[in-house]
Amino acid sequence: MSRQIEALVTNLKLPEAPFWDEETQSLYFVDTNDRAIHRYSPHDKFHVRALLGLTHSTFAIPIENNNNKYVISHGNKLSILTWDGKSERGQNIQVLSSLDEVPNGNYIWCDGKVDPTGKLWAGAMIIKTMGGFEEKTGTLYNLELNKQIKRHFNSLTIPNGLAWNSVTNKFYFIDSPTRRIEQFDYDPEASVITNRIRLFTFDDHNIPGAPDGMTIDKDGNLWVTCFGGGMIIKIDPSKKECLLEKITLPAQQVSSLVFGGKNLDELYVTTAKVQFGPEPAPDGPENGVLYKITGLGCSGFPGVRIKI
């Protein structure tokens, strides 16, 4: 089967955190700058955009055993969103937990994902009151099953991609400005990560852009988006600095990705169209698009619903 790249949803601004839900056979993602949650169903090509009106919503993850409730980030808060997946507005939002306020700025959540045991993991960063972000003030957290937020390590700037290998008990993590991917040993029951090592460095391979979203396939290989670099890379984490493949996309700001579809062999990729720092937003209709890539010869895992 030849590789194909297909545009599915257009006119997006900053889509993030795609989540493939096995139960509903749907792809969910948020558009941070549009303050909206999206659902796309490949079976009937149904797409709906629901306005939330929340600032800095960076992920929305379905809750286990409940098709109408999601844990959603907004600003420094984690909340439970009630939404039927069909309406153009969410029905209700109830605050679940929040991070502390900080002087001269605000914490906001970044990328978030659920580990194989059902626990939410997400990084947070500080946005200055006058604009811009504070370097090395971000932190990685996880939400325990008792709804308490557990702090792991700090000195991060823009915490982003997360992935787990439940066979080897490895955790993979990205702090985008470092332009590298890191690996940890992972204790799933205790929610403890140790033995931090540098696994892959963009600078050593002359890869453009910054690492952003990340997912893992059933062979244990990592797929990483290159924000500002117009591509996806595939790496083998069983070896340090092992680049397997590059896939070029029409869009420049490749933000995140996830495997989905009936056989979990379709790669859904979100791309943005925003001004980032001094760089203007990219022109052209190929930017700000949800893409589907097929013919990759591998498959991944469905998203894990959060246990609350």
Amino acid at 16: E
Distance between CA 161 and CA 231 in Å, rounded? Answer: 15
> d(Cα 62, Cα 81) in Å, to the nearest integer?
9
Choice among 212, 217, 219, 236 that is catalytic = 212
Q: Which amino acid is at 284?
A: G
Q: 303: phi > 0 → left, psi -120 to 50 → alpha, else beta; which? A: beta
Q: Is the CB of residue 161 less than 8 Å from the CB of residue 213?
A: yes
Residue partners of 111: CB distance under 8 A and separation at least 6: 16, 17, 58, 59, 122, 123, 159, 160, 161, 162, 212, 213, 256
Q: Which residues contact 278 (CB under 8 A, 6 or more apart)?
A: none
Residue 115 catalytic?
A: no
Active site residues: 212
